[in-house]
Structure 1
Amino acid sequence: MNTNSNSEKLVAVTGGSGFIAMRCILQLLNEGYQVRATLRSLDREAKVREMLKTGGVDAGDRLTFIKADLSSDENWAEAVSGCAYVIHVASPTPKLNFKHEDEMIIPAVDGVLRVLRAARDAGVKRVVLTSAIGAIVYGHPNQTAPYDETTWTDTTTAPAYQKSKTLAERAAWEFIEQEGNGLELAAVNPTGVMGPVLGSDYSHSIDIIKNLLTGQMPGCPKINSCFVDVRDVADLHLRAMTNPAANGQRFIATAGESIWLVEVARILKQNLGEAAAKVKVKQLSNTLLRMAALKDPKIKSMIPLLDVIMNTTSAKAIALLGWSPHTTEEAILATAESLISLNLL
C-alpha cells in the first residue's frame, strides 16, 4: 500500500540492525516512507538489507544508511536532517559483566539526549522513543493488578539495565519539557519481544524460545512475563509517530496478560509436535536456581525475578491508537516457527 503522501517523508530509525528497528524499517517502507537508518558500523548494511528481504521488502534506494554511535556527537545532525520523524530504537545492550552500572546508564541517557537535541535542531516534528517495560514494573511491592503507563520503576532498587532504561526515558521527557522547543515525543514500552525473526539478529527474549526448543533449558524458572509480537511493536511505533493523540504519551506494548515460563513451554509442546520434542515442561525450584546463580552470572540476573508477577495492560494503546496485537500464543509460536524455518536452532 504505497501511499504517495508518505513517499515525500523521510524517517530516521536509530540502531537500524536491531530486532525492533528492522521491523519498524520494514513497516515504514511498506507504508511508502523513505528511511535513513543509523548503524554503529556500515559493515552491517548488507546484512540488514538481506534480513529485510527475508521480511519481503527489497528496500533499494528508499533506504539509506549513516554511521552514528550513541556515545559520540558525530553524524547525528546529518542523521536526522530533513526528517519528518525519528524512531529512536538504539540502546546500549544489557551487559552481564559490568564493573559499574554507569557503564549502561551513562550511554543510555547521553544517547537519548544526543538524538533529541539533533532532532530538535533539525526541526523534526516528533520522536518516538523505544523505552521498555523495565522503566515501569521494577521495584514495587508484588501485585497482581496490571501495571499501566502511570507507573515508573523505582531506580533505587532496580537492576542496572532496567535502571538505565528508566533514567533514559525520564531524561527524554525532562528534555522535551525544558528545552524541546515544540519537538513532540511519544514512548513505547514493550514487554518481552517475541515474533518472527528475520535472521540471527534478534532480541534477548527470543533466546527463551530457542533454549526451550534446543533442550538447553532443563526446565523453567518461576519467572512471569508479558510478551508481544515484534510486528505489533513496530505497528505501535508507527501509530505513535503519526497519531495526534500520541503526543506526550507513553504506551505499554503487550499482547495480553502475563504468563509463567512453564506456560510458554506448554504452548510450544502442545502446538509444535516433533519440533518441540526437547522442550521440558517442568518448574525448576527456586533453591536450585539460587545455588546455580553462585557460579553463573546469567542465572544470577534471574534471581530478583523469581515469583514476581509482571502483569501489564495495553488498554491505553488499544483505546487511544486503535492498536490490535496478535495474541501471546501467536507471538510465541511465530517466534518458534521462524527459528525452525530459518535453521537458527
Structure 2
Amino acid sequence: MAEDLILVTGATGFVGKWTVIQLLQAGYRVRGTVRSLAKDAEVRAGVATQTGPEVLSRLELEQADLLDDAGWAAAMKGVAAVMHIATAIRADEPKDQSLVIRPALEGTERVLRFAQAAGIRRFILTSSIATVGYGLGHTSGRRVYTEKDFTNLDGMRWKWAYCIGKTKAEQFAWAFAKTNGMDLTTIHPGAIIGPAVDQDASISIGMVSGLLAGAVPAMPSNGFSIIDVRDVAALHVAALKKPEAIGQRYLATSDYTPFSKVADVLREAYPDRNITTKQVPDWLIRIIASLGGPARQIINDIGNEKIFDGSKGEALLGRKFIGAKESILATAESALRLGLVVDKPK
C-alpha cells in the first residue's frame, strides 16, 4: 500500500535516488541507507529537484554500510519491503577484485539476513545483465537473451569483478529466498544512463559526457543495451505494486546501441563539439584486456551482439521503455547543465 515504509539501500546512487523519487511520487514513505549521514542534505536536494520539497517529510535516511552490521537492524524496523540497490561500481577493473565483489555478495547476504530477521518477506534486488548473458559460448554473431538465461562464470575466459560479484549475489539471493520463504524479484538493467539530478551521478553517464568533452579519442566497436534510469526505478516500483512479479527476473533493457550510434546522436545534437568518429581495432582491445584494466569489462562484448529482450519488463510496466536516443539526449542535457562535461584542453 502507498503508505507503507520502503527501505532503499544506496540512496545516494543514481538508481537509488531515482527510485526514492518515484516511490515518494507514488505516495510511499521511504527510508534510504547511506554510508554517511553527511550526504543527507545532498540526497534531499537531489530528490527535491523532481518531487518538490513538500514530500521530503516522508523521506528518512539511515547510516549503514554493506560491509558492516552496524545500522542494519535499525534500518529494517517497520519496513514493509526492501529494495536492495546499493553496490560498488567502478570505471576501472581493480587489481583487488574483492573491492567490488565483497560489497555485491557480502552486502546482499547482509541485507537479506537482516531483512529476514526483521520478518520482512518482500525483497527486490537490483541485479544486472551481467548475470544473464555471459559464459554461454557466445563469441560471435547475434544472440538474443531473456530472463531464462543465467551467466555461467565457469564458462567465461575473461571474468570481471562486477560480473562475478553480481552473479554470485543473485545466486545467493534466490537460494536464500527459497530457504527462508521470502518473496524475491530481481531487476537486471543494461547500461544505465538518463538525466542526473545532481553532480553525484553514475559512472555510466561518463560514456556520454566523455564524448561531449572530446575526451574519448576512439570508440570500441561493441554495443550495449541502454536503459534509462527512470525506467529502472519505475520497474522497481511496478514490481513492488504487482504480486505477479514475485519470483520473477526482469530485464531492464531498451535498444541495443553501438557506441558509434551514441556518438552519432550527440554529434547531430551538438555539432559544435569535437566528438570522435574513430574506432579502436578489436585486436587492440583484446591485447589490452589480456593485461587487465577497464578493457576487461567489455572484452566479452567485442565481436558479438548481445541482445537483451526487455519485453517482459515492458509488460510489467504496461508501456515501452524510453528509447536510446531520448535517453542519450536527456543524459547529455543534464550532464552539460550540471557541469559534468569537463572539456579536454585544446
TM-score, reference length from structure 2: 0.90
Range that drifts further, 143-152 or 238-247:
143-152
Counterpart of 2:217? 218
1:153-190 per-position Cα deviation (integer Å, ceiling 9, x unaligned): 11122322101100001100000111x23x21101000
Alignment of 1:61-80 (within 5 A): 61-80=57-76
Is 1:330 aligned to 2:331, yes or no?
no
Alignment of 1:1-345 (within 5 A): 6=2, 8-58=3-53, 59-94=55-90, 96=92, 98-140=94-136, 141-142=138-139, 143-156=141-154, 157=156, 158-178=159-179, 180-181=180-181, 183-256=182-255, 258-274=256-272, 277-290=273-286, 297-345=293-341
Aligned partners of 1:123 and 1:132: how far apart in 2? 27
Aligned partners of 2:118 and 2:319: how far apart in 1? 30
Range that drifts further, 265-274 or 23-32:
265-274
SS of the counterpart of 1:215?
A: coil
Range that drifts further, 52-61 or 20-29:
52-61
Instruction: Give yes or no for contact 1:246–1:321 (8 Å, CA) kept in 2.
Output: no
The code of the aligned residue for 1:322 comes to G
SS of the counterpart of 1:35?
A: strand
C-alpha distance 189-97 of structure 1, shift in aligned 2 (>3 A): closer
Count, aligned residues? 335
Instruction: Give yes or no for contact 1:224–1:307 (8 Å, CA) kept in 2.
Output: no
The code of the aligned residue for 2:146 comes to D
SS of the counterpart of 2:30?
A: strand
Structure 1 alignment gaps of length 5 or more: none
Displacement after TM superposition at 1:84 (Å): 1.1
1:191-230 per-position Cα deviation (integer Å, ceiling 9, x unaligned): 0001001122222221110111001111211121010110
C-alpha distance 340-97 of structure 1, shift in aligned 2 (>3 A): closer
Instruction: Give yes or no for contact 2:234–2:317 (8 Å, CA) kept in 1.
Output: no
Displacement after TM superposition at 1:302 (Å): 3.6
The code of the aligned residue for 1:63 comes to L
C-alpha distance 131-323 of structure 1, shift in aligned 2 (>3 A): farther
The code of the aligned residue for 1:51 comes to G
1:99-129 per-position Cα deviation (integer Å, ceiling 9, x unaligned): 4434432332221121112222223241110
C-alpha distance 97-309 of structure 1, shift in aligned 2 (>3 A): closer
Aligned partners of 2:301 and 2:79: how far apart in 1? 40
Displacement after TM superposition at 1:76 (Å): 1.1
Instruction: Give yes or no for contact 1:236–1:323 (8 Å, CA) kept in 2.
Output: no
Displacement after TM superposition at 1:25 (Å): 0.3
SS of the counterpart of 1:12?
A: strand
Instruction: Give yes or no for contact 2:10–2:85 (8 Å, CA) kept in 1.
Output: yes
Q: Note the aligned Cα RMSD (angstroms).
A: 2.0
The code of the aligned residue for 1:211 comes to G
Displacement after TM superposition at 1:320 (Å): 4.0
The code of the aligned residue for 1:15 comes to G
Aligned partners of 2:208 and 2:83: how far apart in 1? 27
